[in-house]
Structure 1
Amino acid sequence: MSLSLLSSSRPQSRPHPRVLPERPLRAVLLGCGTVGGGVMAGISRQLAGDVTIEAILVSRHRKHRAPGRYFTEADCVLATGPSLVIDCLPDSDLAEQLLDRALSSGADVVSANKAVIARRPDLADRAHERGSLLRYAAAVGGELPVLETVARLRSERRDILSVSGVLNGTSNFVLDRLAEGAGLDTAIHAAQALGFAEADPSADLEGRDAEAKLRLISRAAFGRDPDTVHRDAIDETTPRCVRETAACGYRLRQVASLHRTGAGIEARIALTPRAPGDPLGEARDEENAVRISCEGGDSVLLTGRGAGREATASAVLSDISAILAERYGR
């Protein structure tokens, strides 16, 4: 199947007329924690003349925060009438509600929330209908330009056959600690102590985080979600598998893959032995590695930090810059 025949299911109705917003772009920031704080600092350093943060949604007030700019009520933030909404919220349910409202108002949106974007493909349709831009590169691969690379390959009419990668840093960290002889609970607690794992790490260990990223990659590469999804979990049986794999000179990794077959798009998140020197096996801790294979034997390999404040904030800033370029030719 030629890539030129693949397209998303967006409606072909005429987009809502768009009035070009004034510069600097008036933005609001949803969430000012680890990632949001990094985004705000990056805007001050890199985009101060192009973007101004009018309001910031926070979970609670602190003494050093200036009144009139920080709010605990989302209504107060959205009431400022922003042209750009930047979503760095950890709460996906709240983020989903606010992204709905932002796109309905005609605002452009940048989101780092993979869970929301993965389960709400209709948000892209909403943005199209309203003439808004929706960008979410930060939701996949951190500083790795995964979605941008897929888009470039498609624009070049390159026929993508498969995508495989290590997309979850928590799993990397836990598997490496298991290989060193730690127990599963000890490895998880160590990951939490260093900030690699959430208080509830189940989405990472069960492959749900990687699945959400695969869904976004599949939409970009093939125009639709996978037809089938298989997930392996890191559980109490994994330490033995890690030891047996290490004894053979291999390293166990949680590998997420997409394959286009005659039956459709197949997604798998599987614990897979990787040989020494394999880039997918060499990814450690927050590092990600993604290989995109095209018809004719060509492939593209991307490696870098897939998580953490700097990597995620950098991806959000890249999305903001992309919106500036599209709106103003910056």
Structure 2
Amino acid sequence: MKILKFGGSSVATPARIQSVIEIVKPYLREDVAVVFSAFGGVTDVLIQISRLALEGNLEYKATLADIERRHLDAVRALVGVQKQSSILAQVKFTINELEDVLHGVYLVKERTPRTLDYIMSFGERLSAYIIAEAFKDNGVAAEFLDARRVVRTDANFGYAKVDFDTTNTQIREHFSRQQALQIITGFIGTSETGETTTLGRSGSDYTAAIFAGALQASDLEIWTDVDGMMTADPRLVKKAFTVPQMSYEEAMELSHFGAKVIFPATMQPAMVNRIPIWIKNTFNPTFQGTVIHAESKNGKVIKGISSMNAISLLSVQGSGLLGVVGASARLFATLARERVNVILISQASSEHSICLAIESQYTRQAKTAIEKEFQYEIRNEEIDEVHVETDLSVIAVVGDNMKQSPGTSGRMFSALGKNGVNVMAIAQGSSERNISAVVRQADVAKALNALHEAFFLSDRKLLNVFLVGTGLIGKALINMVREQFNKLAEENLLEVNIVAIANSRKMLFQEAGLPLATCLDENEAKGEAMHMEKFVEHMVSLNLPNSIFVDCTSSEEVTSFYEAILSASISVVTPNKKANSASLEKYKLLKHTAFRRGVKFLYETNVGAGLPVINTLNDLLLSGDKVISIEGVLSGTLNFIFSSYTAGKKFSDVVKEAKAKGYTEPDPRDDLSGMDVARKILILSREAGLPYELSDITVENLVPADCREQTSVDAFFTALEKHDSAFEKLLAEATARQEKLRYMAVLKDGKVAVSLGTVNDKHPFYSLSGSDNIILLTTERYHERPMVIRGPGAGAAVTAAGVFADVIRIGHYAR
């Protein structure tokens, strides 16, 4: 014997009902019975029109007419014309009965739980009757069974309790006399006095389980609109997938915390009789779905992650709780009298406080009741007033194999912590099957995704990138992500999802990820006006796990938002030097904020483009080494200029050549001023632990005084030509000494200077060419032979590569 149950979404339209009939037909070769819910949405509409009638609003009649029309149309669509008349008459008769009840509610302005149960019963009674007739029209010997004839309950209207002894006997007697396929109404029963009752939340599932238990069914199949029990809510976690099998206990834990596919009451008759429950999809009938049975045979530690929203946390604390026997009993007895259900409890071993989670709708009622119960203790300041926090959610990870599996809770809270999700209360029972935590409701989606990734996709990490700056570096970065996407996913198990891009004019967001090949064009075509504050607000509001903000600009305005971004638990990667070369206070604040929020602030490309300068320096310092001096040619632009400046060339022509090759800033004076080099050596000085400001650095400006005042770049070059002879003299003097000109930054003996100097052929800087950078680190360990870091120090490609490496580094940290 098998019992099948189809929910409202499965029978919402005549076309879907016909699909259900086709699903059921193959089962007719064996013994089977089918339970049906009301047509999709009808129960909610019945409650609505009863409320309208209660309020004296005659609009209930129009809505009732819509219900009648929907059911009559279903008959016409599902049953042949020659058989319709008697069925239509019966439907109209039932609707008239409903109309009489609603009219009574309208007249007396009263709707008791007993009356509401009766009104709600019409949904199942109409749907099951019409579907039974549709089966008959398809050549199936079917019979409509009103469950009220066999399901006996108490008179607890709205959530009636089943009398299983009587019910089981009546069901067995009924089935012993019947040969036709039984089409059964879900959700409803009859009290001992013959009044219609309902079985509460998910009553149709419960009805199916009752029949399965009574008939000792081999299987109970719940047909719904999803592919079974999912690892998480697919509306919030896009990568959620179906769990092939789980135990009754696992399913019950998940159902308590919001997994709406199946509810605890449904499992009780099945658990007692050890009947497997199958969750299957009406819209994907060939998919196996999920089977719930006595044992959890799948080896995964976690089977699912669930959540419950609209939660409030009440904290009762004070010295009056310490060692006082009966305080907890008084607290929970008070809530029980108020019929307030406690969802989660947490108490510290100090006994100084008890916090409990309840549904938010009962917050005021619970707070008032507790303070009334403990009024004397509160008056004597032995207990504080009840502290309430609202807009919270409970998240839970569930799995039988969590028992005696070390590290499960560590993985859970590590995943939440790395994504900036604050945990406000924790509860775990001795069964070790469920770890629950209270978090802000605004963080639920992020928390669920972070946990799902940690437990189910732990081999793969999704990084959500928000990119500002789509110039040469930004474009090169996007191209690298596109070219390396498959390799990263396969070899490094990292997926880089560019959620947003922005330039100085426009910004574009797409939570699922922008298409890398066309995102720049789409930003120009579809992007909204760029406003940095709005960009940050939108990024923070998305609240995505593993979020990384990438700043590929040189804008000081963008850096002014770094603190807010880091405070929102979003990592920052940037080649922009403006933040770390600003005031020492800001530099320290950003690093402290990143540390405090548990996110990364990476800026390897601030110095030397893609060269591993900052990481190398930090590793040396962390290992206990000490810096004696740092020397560097830190401007690829200036190194190109002085490497290319040889006898017979004019200095102004070499600068023009560097500009033409794209090595300089749009205005070469920005390079020649030396301030870019000064910022780099300042950052290295700070990384080495020196509390310097930019004003502490001596900088030689290579732009002649009269050239600084020119308003245009062309005018600057004209003025610069007048100084060619001065630079020619410097070159000649260096050449005469067999030395070369180099623009260098030097940190030594507590002083930092940036200036044009010369080096001989024994110096590492002598052979430097092109746009390379070079850094010499002299430390206590690298004293006689300094550590040399050398390579391309300018160019969009190498800088973008450094930025990309920082992004990947964050991905490995997140894992």
Instruction: Classify the TM-score, shorter chain.
Output: 0.7 to 0.9
Which residue of the partner structure matches residue 701 of structure 2? 233
Q: How does 1:264-283 map to 2 (within 5 A)?
A: 265-276=750-761, 278-283=763-768
* 1:72-98 per-position Cα deviation (integer Å, ceiling 9, x unaligned): 4135543143511001013x2232234
- Structure 2: which amino acid aligns with 1:29? L
Q: How many residue pairs are counted as aligned between the two chains?
A: 309
Which residue of the partner structure matches residue 420 of structure 2? 18
Confirm whether residue 192 of structure 1 aligns to residue 677 of structure 2.
no
Which runs of 5 or more residues in structure 1 are unaligned? 1-14
Q: Which has the higher contact order (CA 8 A, sep 6+)?
A: 1
The Cα shift of 1:169 comes to 1.4
Which residue of the partner structure matches residue 125 of structure 1? 592
Confirm whether residue 309 of structure 1 aligns to residue 765 of structure 2.
no
- Structure 1: which amino acid aligns with 2:746? S
Confirm whether residue 52 of structure 1 aligns to residue 493 of structure 2.
no
- The separation in 1 between residues aligned to 2:743 and 2:801, in whole angstroms, is 25
SS of the residue 1:41 aligns to: helix
* 1:12-44 per-position Cα deviation (integer Å, ceiling 9, x unaligned): xxx998348554121111111110111112222
* 1:55-88 per-position Cα deviation (integer Å, ceiling 9, x unaligned): 1002346997125985541355431435110010
SS of the residue 2:580 aligns to: helix
Q: How does 1:1-330 map to 2 (within 5 A)?
A: 18-19=420-421, 21=450, 23-46=461-484, 47=488, 49-60=494-505, 65-66=521-522, 70=527, 72-73=529-530, 74-75=532-533, 77-78=535-536, 79-80=538-539, 81=542, 83-90=547-554, 92-119=555-582, 120-121=586-587, 122-225=589-692, 228-235=696-703, 236=723, 237-259=726-748, 261=749, 265-276=750-761, 278-295=763-780, 296-328=783-815
Which residue of the partner structure matches residue 436 of structure 2? none
Structure 1 contact 169–284 (Cα < 8 Å) conserved: no
Structure 2 CA distance for partners of 1:242 and 1:27, relative to 1, 3 Å? same
SS of the residue 2:564 aligns to: helix
Which residue of the partner structure matches residue 373 of structure 2? none
The Cα shift of 1:299 comes to 1.9
Which residue of the partner structure matches residue 434 of structure 2? none
Task: Answer 1 or 2: which has greater helix percent.
Answer: 2
- Structure 1: which amino acid aligns with 2:474? G
SS of the residue 1:45 aligns to: helix
SS of the residue 1:123 aligns to: helix
SS of the residue 2:649 aligns to: coil
The Cα shift of 1:297 comes to 2.8
- Structure 2: which amino acid aligns with 1:320? V
SS of the residue 1:157 aligns to: coil
The Cα shift of 1:223 comes to 4.7
- The separation in 1 between residues aligned to 2:696 and 2:469, in whole angstroms, is 34
Runs (4+) off by over 4 Å: 60-64, 67-72
- The separation in 2 between residues aligned to 1:69 and 1:221, in whole angstroms, is 45
- The separation in 2 between residues aligned to 1:144 and 1:327, in whole angstroms, is 23
Which runs of 5 or more residues in structure 2 are unaligned? 1-416, 422-446, 454-460, 507-517, 704-722
Structure 2 CA distance for partners of 1:327 and 1:16, relative to 1, 3 Å? closer
Structure 2 CA distance for partners of 1:38 and 1:184, relative to 1, 3 Å? same
TM-score (norm 2): 0.36
The Cα shift of 1:201 comes to 2.3
The Cα shift of 1:185 comes to 2.7
Structure 1 contact 18–131 (Cα < 8 Å) conserved: yes
Structure 2 CA distance for partners of 1:231 and 1:239, relative to 1, 3 Å? farther
The Cα shift of 1:102 comes to 1.8
Paired-residue identity, %:
26
Which shows bigger deviation, 206-215 or 228-237?
A: 228-237
The Cα shift of 1:308 comes to 0.3
The Cα shift of 1:224 comes to 3.0
- The separation in 2 between residues aligned to 1:204 and 1:178, in whole angstroms, is 16
Q: Which has the larger radius of gyration?
A: 2
Structure 2 contact 556–578 (Cα < 8 Å) conserved: no
Structure 2 contact 420–568 (Cα < 8 Å) conserved: no
- The separation in 1 between residues aligned to 2:746 and 2:529, in whole angstroms, is 40
- Structure 2: which amino acid aligns with 1:84? I
Structure 2 CA distance for partners of 1:89 and 1:72, relative to 1, 3 Å? farther
Structure 2 CA distance for partners of 1:70 and 1:224, relative to 1, 3 Å? farther
SS of the residue 2:642 aligns to: helix
Structure 2 contact 627–779 (Cα < 8 Å) conserved: yes
SS of the residue 1:103 aligns to: helix
